[in-house]
Amino acid sequence: MASSCNSAIIAEIVRGRHMESCHLGHAVVADADGQVLFAVGNHERPIFPRSALKPLQALAGVMSGTDQQFQFTDAELAVICGSHRGEPRHRAAVRSILEKIEATEEQLHCGAPAVVDVATRDELIRAGQSPTAIDNNCSGKHAGMLALAKVLGASMDGYWNIDHPVQQKIQRICREMCGIDGASRLESSVSAARCVASMVQAGSNAPLMAVLFRHTCSHCASWRKDLRACVPGNTSNKPMGMPVVAY
């Protein structure tokens, strides 16, 4: 499989002085025009962006004025833009969004999976409670979609359906940013370089990008101190200040 998709070693896990495992993948740095500035592996290989699209999905709301109409704070915009770990501050931000848009947790269509944050998970177990939708790492994104529905004057019911005005708005933004033609479904895979370029283009929305940079550390602060990573040739084995994510 490694040779068929031209993967490259992008990370090595080290125990002491011995490499325990290595991980293959693709990484790319591109500018807003999609010009590749640096690449490892196959940057033209189609990928499914998955949660990497969350900033673009959030952009659909911001461009429609959700942040202004509801006076979202930076912390609230941050949970709309990305995945969170279900920590108390993350849940508080999502609850605040729901309160501002006069929606309820029951209207979140993201389900209630296992909580990512260990401390929060253990607290729920000790209290004999089960996770709810607000604990879902995608609850911020879904709250943002509910906000967009309200701004568009659309029903909050069924906001997740492909033909709902919320999803139609998001589809248009993502197709434009990712360079997908209008006849294509967003579920279509795009090249890694095109996906990265769309993020750079989104950087023209300075307030939104500033929020992302300021709050990315807070989303992973509880676990990044335990993260160890060595790239090929690096023998420091020191905790990383921030995880590196390559789309």
pLDDT digits (tens, 9 = 90+) for 117-170: 888 889 989 999 999 999 999 999 999 999 999 999 999 999 999 999 999 999
Contact 141, 133 (CB under 8 A): no
> Residue 174 has what pLDDT?
81
> Residue 94 has what pLDDT?
96
β-strands 36-40, 27-30: how paired? antiparallel
Residue 47's DSSP bridge partners are 190
| Measured distance CA(137)–CA(128) in Å, rounded | 21
Q: What is the pLDDT of residues 186-238, one digit of tens each?
A: 444 566 666 666 666 655 555 555 555 555 544 444 444 433 333 334 444 43
The range of the structural domain enclosing residue 153 comes to 49-223
> Residue 111 has what pLDDT?
87
Structural domain includes residue 9: no
Structural domain includes residue 41: no
Q: Does residue 246 or residue 236 have the better pLDDT?
A: 236
> Residue 3 has what pLDDT?
46
Quickly count: other Cβ atoms within 10 Å of residue 237's Cβ: 13
In single-letter form, the type of residue at position 104 comes to T
Structural domain includes residue 36: no
Residue 1, CA distances (Å) to 5, 7, 22, 47 in order:
6, 8, 15, 15
In single-letter form, the type of residue at position 217 comes to C
> Residue 197 has what pLDDT?
65
Structural domain includes residue 115: yes
Q: What is the CA radius of gyration of the chain?
A: 19
Structural domain includes residue 171: yes
Residue 14's DSSP bridge partners are 19
Count of domains for the chain: 1
- Mean per-residue pLDDT over the chain, rounded: 77
| Measured distance CA(173)–CA(152) in Å, rounded | 15
pLDDT-based confidence at 48, cuts 50/70/90? Answer: confident
Q: What is the SS3 string spanning 123-155?
A: HHHHCCCCCCHHHCCCHHHHHHHHHHHHHHCCC
Those residues with Cβ within 8 angstroms of residue 239's Cβ, 6 or more apart along the chain or in another chain: 224, 225, 226, 227, 228
> Residue 183 has what pLDDT?
42
Structural domain includes residue 35: no
> Residue 185 has what pLDDT?
44
Q: How many Cα neighbours within 13 Å face the side chain of 223?
A: 13
pLDDT-based confidence at 177, cuts 50/70/90? Answer: confident
- Torsions phi, psi of 92, nearest 5? -65, -40
Those residues with Cβ within 8 angstroms of residue 153's Cβ, 6 or more apart along the chain or in another chain: none
Quickly count: other Cβ atoms within 10 Å of residue 191's Cβ: 21
Structural domain includes residue 4: no
DSSP secondary-structure letter at 235?
-
> Residue 237 has what pLDDT?
41
Structural domain includes residue 65: yes
Contact 9, 234 (CB under 8 A): no
